[in-house]
A and B are shown apart, each in its own frame.
Chain A
Amino acid sequence: MADKKIAAYICQGCGLGERLDTAQLAKIAKSEGKAAIAKQHEFLCNANGVQMIQNDIDNEGVTHVVLGACSRRAKTDAFNFQNIALMRANLREGVIWVRPDDEDNRETTQEMADDYIRMACAEAKFVDIPESSNEQGLNRTVMVVGGGVTGMTAALETAKAGYNAILVEKTGALGGMAAKLYKSIPQSAPYSTPADSGVADLIAQVNSNDRITVHLNATLNKTSGAPGRFAADIRIESGATFTEQFGAIIQASGFKPYDARKLPEFSFGKTPDVVDQLGLEALAQAANGAPIKRPSDGKEVKSVVFIQCAGQRSEKQGHLSYCSGHCCSTSIKQAMYFKQANPDTDAMVVYTDLRTPGAGGEDFYRNGQQQGITFTKGEARTVTINDGNLTVKFKDLILNEDVDMDTDLVVLATGMMPNSGVDIEATPAKLDENCKDCSNDEKSGAVAPVIQESVLNLDYRQGLDLPQLVTGFTDSHFICFPYETRRTGIYTAGPVRRPMDMLQAQDDACGAAMKAIQVIENSSKGLAAHPRVGDLSFPRFRKEGCTQCKRCTVECPFGAINEDEQGYPQFNESRCRRCGTCMGACPVRVISFANYSIDSVGQQIKAVDMPDEYSEKPRILVLACENDAYPALDMAGMNREQYSAFVRIIPVRCLGSVNTIWITDALNSGYDGIILMGCKKGDDYQCHFVKGSELAHIRMSKIDDTLTTLNLEPARVATYEVAITDMHRVPQLINDMAATVLRCGMSPFKF
């Protein structure tokens, strides 16, 4: 990279010119910021202003541009310069919009702006323009794991987009669960009757598509690599193994039904006349349109009861806590089997809350009622066997009475359990001596815990499969990026990701196919695919300083970092999300990005002018997550919320990238208070980088030692979870810290 040339441009538009002494800002950029060029402009984001900057880049050799204007989140289209590094000093949302416009405050407001220019210039000195590494691969083939409706749809969508697909199916046939259904829930108007699942047609399409290679009876023995250059050893029935190369993975490993034997109260397993929904599909397939016969004695079923939420939506031990989404519609569909074969059959659905998601859901429910299916709001208690007949005991929740009802057949609507492979984060469960629901075998440990088979067999530092949510479904950013897993280039679709019906699974498959294609294309150019789309920077480390402590490899939320034989990290940048959690974790601070490093932030912290202890001008540092907290701060400005003029805000990629050295340095250089603002952590996290905020909270819980050593009050450092909607709360958090500083007094570390 050629020599650095920093140029600073100060905007006078949007009231900046009236509120601030822009000439002074330009002077600071030149004298303290060492900017070669410092210009003021009355309207920097108009064509003329942008052209002025572009001219300097083209003719003066400017490599680093410092803009003293609006927030880095504003006017990104106008300030879109290629092949330079861009710093944004947030003078509008971060200064004039959050400060009162009066003579008393003019001085402190100007000091705020001065510091932001100093900080941006300091950052400029320590960032380089990122370039891609030479690790890229390009392979326009997607491997799809699972040959059910989701997997087949994903393969077909991939093929339609002009990419190749390898479909790996564990069993001897395509079709998955859908092939076991007699009919499926209708997917088009008038949603009145069970429809053909279309699975035979899908199978035919897959088999006849030249772009799709199908491997049946095949499992993955070992999967390694990174987006654009994955490889897998595929083992087939004969035991032979061969290797396939591909650029991305879609895991559509589907679900298995909840084991209804765990529901002894409903006599499942004690009589063949109590079946789960899949069991009923088998009966319906056998009857093939004729009246369904009950398994025990072959008598035509005259009365059938469907028990909804069997073993699900329940907090009881061993039950599923969640709703599986499809079961209400499935029961309606199955009740229609009976009604269509013989309208005189009594078919009753016992439910507590009937939920029929999807566009046609309500119509389908209504059509079920039209066809004479009875819906009873009630809680099923038991199913008992009397002389070969079944008695369902339930509580009618409308009439508030307990009912015994005789019936011929009972169908249990049990939930979906994802085939998500090995839970790599599982801790060995402790045996509970007092557990009432556990059998003696379980208590004594005689029954071995169910060993999950791995789906992907990843050759990754952090484990064989994808990380899971508490419910066992694969972890994805539920709110913002549902298809993303915590392994870049590997996408899950269908019921392995969350409970869903066939239509949703097909939509999901399309989405995953698009993501797989995006990652193949982006990673081939060294660009991040998500969530910092297009980011070229990647973590590098200074090997001489590395102590092989493995914190980065353990803490990376995306399992991107492997270890070499000597225990040094291997960053695998196409697997990397560029969050910087490794940089935050590194105790010896050897990890950095070209444009984001310990220095690029640390020097900003140090660049702030620190008034002495007796000035009554404290300094508060805010490290704010750029995804949620920083926009919230910007929006506070847009709403003209006011906060303390003593605060200096630095956006960080993720709170996980905050290295404690920044905190220590800030305290040592005289900051009076520090606030960290990250996203919601925990099981229902909102952190873009899943674990970043959580890790930052853990690290900061240990900062007290540092504070004690320095003889400072612990209240001076605070860590908060902030949502993007918290625009009214963030100014309060800052003002609270200002009050705390006032109470504790000024820091004695101002030199």
Chain B
Amino acid sequence: MSNTAKYRNDFLKEVEANVEEGEWVKMCMQCGVCAGSCPLGNAWEHTPQKIFMMIRAGKRDEVLSSDAMWMCTSCYNCIVRCPREVPITHIMHGLAHYAKRLGLVPANQPTAKFAQLFWNNLSKRGRINELTLGLGLYFMNGFVEGIKTSIKMQSLGLNMIKTGRMNVMEIFGGHSVKDTSGFHAMLQKAEEIEATRIK
């Protein structure tokens, strides 16, 4: 990025156009209440306050490839406390979403990985298949770790089967919404609409 782009409004405008609730970023008054209220603030690469300042400073790559907004647990503490009523949680998710669309998610970001797993599972039949989602989560970080986790969770699984909380037969596809093709058509349409919004 050239020197002149620093602290110019280009990236701020990009965020306003593409990120959910992005038009609120300019309303931050840098009081730092969000940063102080975040229960996981210490674990973040950048607090929301800093993310907003970085957006204004034009630090596009640093913001979008950051791990920070993926760390948000949606506790809504920041929204509740923000004196300017900025929807901070929504903006964090909006930024994560935008980064994902641009392919800028940091490699092996666990929240991003699980989110993808969840989406893949859900979008197939319109219902979550808990058995395959659970197993997918166990094996997310490799086969050996998956086996280890499965063994560790064995008794829980058996108990769930015994009490009728989990159906082993779900492994063969599982149940779905009544009109699967209609559901897929709906998703297709949503994707088309979203594609027109991406610039």
* Bound Cα distance from A395 to B23, whole angstroms: 26
* 0/1 interface trace, chain A 376-396, chain B, CB 8 Å (1 if under): 110000000000000000001
Closest beta carbon of chain A to B75's beta carbon, Å: 23
Q: Cβ of B50 and Cβ of A354 under 8 Å apart?
A: no
Checking B3, B26, B49 against A374 with a beta-carbon cut-off of 8 angstroms, the contacting residue is B26
* 0/1 interface trace, chain B 3-33, chain A, CB 8 Å (1 if under): 1101111001000000000000011011000
Q: Cβ of A346 and Cβ of B3 under 8 Å apart?
A: no
Assess whether A375 is interfacial by the CB under 8 Å rule: yes
Chain B residue, CB-CB nearest to A303: B8
Residues of B within 8 A of A406 (CB): 3-4
Number of A-B contacts (CB under 8 A): 49
Assess whether B133 is interfacial by the CB under 8 Å rule: no
Residues of A within 8 A of B3 (CB): 404-406
Stretch at the interface among B52-60, B172-180, B183-191: B52-60
Q: Cβ of B26 and Cβ of A370 under 8 Å apart?
A: yes
Residues of A within 8 A of B4 (CB): 406
Q: Cβ of B30 and Cβ of A375 under 8 Å apart?
A: yes
Interface centre among B7, B8, B49, B50, by most chain A C-beta atoms within 10 angstroms, is B7
User: Interface residue tally of chain A, by bracket?
Assistant: 20 to 34
Residues of B contacting A: mostly: helix
Q: Cβ of B49 and Cβ of A398 under 8 Å apart?
A: yes
Checking A370, A374, A404 against B56 with a beta-carbon cut-off of 8 angstroms, the contacting residue is A374
Residues of A contacting B: mostly: strand
* 0/1 interface trace, chain A 402-436, chain B, CB 8 Å (1 if under): 01111000000000000000000000000000000
Checking B7, B12, B50, B84 against A398 with a beta-carbon cut-off of 8 angstroms, the contacting residue is B50
Checking A346, A354, A403, A404 against B8 with a beta-carbon cut-off of 8 angstroms, the contacting residue is A346
Residues of B within 8 A of A348 (CB): 7
* Bound Cα distance from A398 to B54, whole angstroms: 9
Assess whether A511 is interfacial by the CB under 8 Å rule: no
Q: Cβ of A405 and Cβ of B49 under 8 Å apart?
A: no
Residues of B within 8 A of A365 (CB): 29
A372 and B9 in contact, given A354-B29, A365-B29 (Cβ under 8 angstroms): yes
Checking A346, A396, A405 against B9 with a beta-carbon cut-off of 8 angstroms, the contacting residue is A346
* Bound Cα distance from A399 to B59, whole angstroms: 11
Q: Cβ of A374 and Cβ of B7 under 8 Å apart?
A: yes
Residues of B within 8 A of A398 (CB): 30, 49-50, 53
Residues of A within 8 A of B9 (CB): 346, 372, 374
Assess whether A366 is interfacial by the CB under 8 Å rule: yes
Closest beta carbon of chain A to B44's beta carbon, Å: 14
- Interface size for B (C-beta < 8 A) is 18
Q: Cβ of A399 and Cβ of B53 under 8 Å apart?
A: yes
Residues of A within 8 A of B50 (CB): 398-399
* Bound Cα distance from A131 to B104, whole angstroms: 89
Residues of A within 8 A of B8 (CB): 303, 346
Within 8 A of B (CB), among A75-101: none
Checking B27, B29, B49, B53 against A396 with a beta-carbon cut-off of 8 angstroms, the contacting residue is B53
Assess whether A369 is interfacial by the CB under 8 Å rule: yes
Residues of A within 8 A of B26 (CB): 369-370, 372, 374
* Bound Cα distance from A372 to B3, whole angstroms: 21
Chain B residue, CB-CB nearest to A377: B30
Q: Cβ of A405 and Cβ of B7 under 8 Å apart?
A: yes
Q: Cβ of A399 and Cβ of B54 under 8 Å apart?
A: yes
Closest beta carbon of chain B to A183's beta carbon, Å: 22
* Bound Cα distance from A447 to B58, whole angstroms: 47
Q: Cβ of A403 and Cβ of B57 under 8 Å apart?
A: yes
Residues of B within 8 A of A374 (CB): 7, 9, 12, 26, 56
Q: Cβ of A370 and Cβ of B7 under 8 Å apart?
A: no
Checking A303, A369, A377 against B27 with a beta-carbon cut-off of 8 angstroms, the contacting residue is A369
Closest beta carbon of chain A to B53's beta carbon, Å: 4
A405 and B56 in contact, given A369-B26, A372-B26, A398-B30 (Cβ under 8 angstroms): no
* Bound Cα distance from A374 to B3, whole angstroms: 17
* Bound Cα distance from A396 to B56, whole angstroms: 11
* Bound Cα distance from A399 to B30, whole angstroms: 11
Residues of A within 8 A of B57 (CB): 376, 396, 399, 403
Residues of B within 8 A of A370 (CB): 26-27
Closest beta carbon of chain B to A139's beta carbon, Å: 52
Closest beta carbon of chain A to B130's beta carbon, Å: 43
Residues of A within 8 A of B6 (CB): 403-405
Chain A residue, CB-CB nearest to B6: A405
* Bound Cα distance from A73 to B27, whole angstroms: 53
Chain A residue, CB-CB nearest to B56: A374
Chain B residue, CB-CB nearest to A345: B9
* Bound Cα distance from A376 to B56, whole angstroms: 8
* 0/1 interface trace, chain A 339-380, chain B, CB 8 Å (1 if under): 000000010100000100000000001100110101111000
Closest beta carbon of chain A to B1's beta carbon, Å: 13
* 0/1 interface trace, chain B 77-117, chain A, CB 8 Å (1 if under): 00000001000000000000000000000000000000000
Residues of B within 8 A of A396 (CB): 53, 57
Chain B residue, CB-CB nearest to A354: B29
Within 8 A of A (CB), among B101-160: none
Closest beta carbon of chain A to B190's beta carbon, Å: 31
Within 8 A of B (CB), among A32-71: none
Chain A residue, CB-CB nearest to B35: A398
* Bound Cα distance from A382 to B7, whole angstroms: 16
Chain B residue, CB-CB nearest to A392: B7
Interface centre among A348, A372, A398, A403, by most chain B C-beta atoms within 10 angstroms, is A398
* Bound Cα distance from A346 to B12, whole angstroms: 11
Closest beta carbon of chain A to B157's beta carbon, Å: 48
Residues of A within 8 A of B56 (CB): 374, 376
* Bound Cα distance from A370 to B23, whole angstroms: 9
Closest beta carbon of chain B to A332's beta carbon, Å: 12
Chain B residue, CB-CB nearest to A398: B53
Residues of B within 8 A of A366 (CB): 27, 84
Closest beta carbon of chain B to A622's beta carbon, Å: 49
Closest beta carbon of chain A to B30's beta carbon, Å: 5
Within 8 A of B (CB), among A512-546: none
A376 and B29 in contact, given A396-B53, A399-B50, A399-B53 (Cβ under 8 angstroms): no
Chain A residue, CB-CB nearest to B59: A399
Residues of A within 8 A of B84 (CB): 366
Chain A residue, CB-CB nearest to B83: A362
Closest beta carbon of chain A to B192's beta carbon, Å: 31
* Bound Cα distance from A354 to B53, whole angstroms: 16
Residues of B within 8 A of A375 (CB): 29-30
Residues of A within 8 A of B54 (CB): 399
Interface centre among A370, A372, A404, A405, by most chain B C-beta atoms within 10 angstroms, is A405
Within 8 A of A (CB), among B35-53: 49-50, 53
Closest beta carbon of chain A to B60's beta carbon, Å: 14
Closest beta carbon of chain A to B82's beta carbon, Å: 13
Interface of B with A (CB < 8 Å)? 3-4, 6-9, 12, 26-27, 29-30, 49-50, 53-54, 56-57, 84
Q: Which 6 A-B pairs have the closest CB atoms?
A: A398-B53, A377-B30, A346-B8, A405-B7, A406-B4, A369-B27
**Beyond known contacts A346-B8, A399-B53: 9 more, CB 8 A cutoff:** A346-B7, A348-B7, A366-B27, A376-B7, A377-B30, A399-B50, A399-B54, A403-B6, A403-B7
A-B contact pairs, 17 of them (CB 8 A): A346-B7, A365-B29, A366-B84, A369-B26, A369-B27, A369-B29, A370-B26, A370-B27, A372-B9, A377-B30, A398-B50, A398-B53, A399-B50, A399-B57, A404-B3, A405-B3, A405-B7
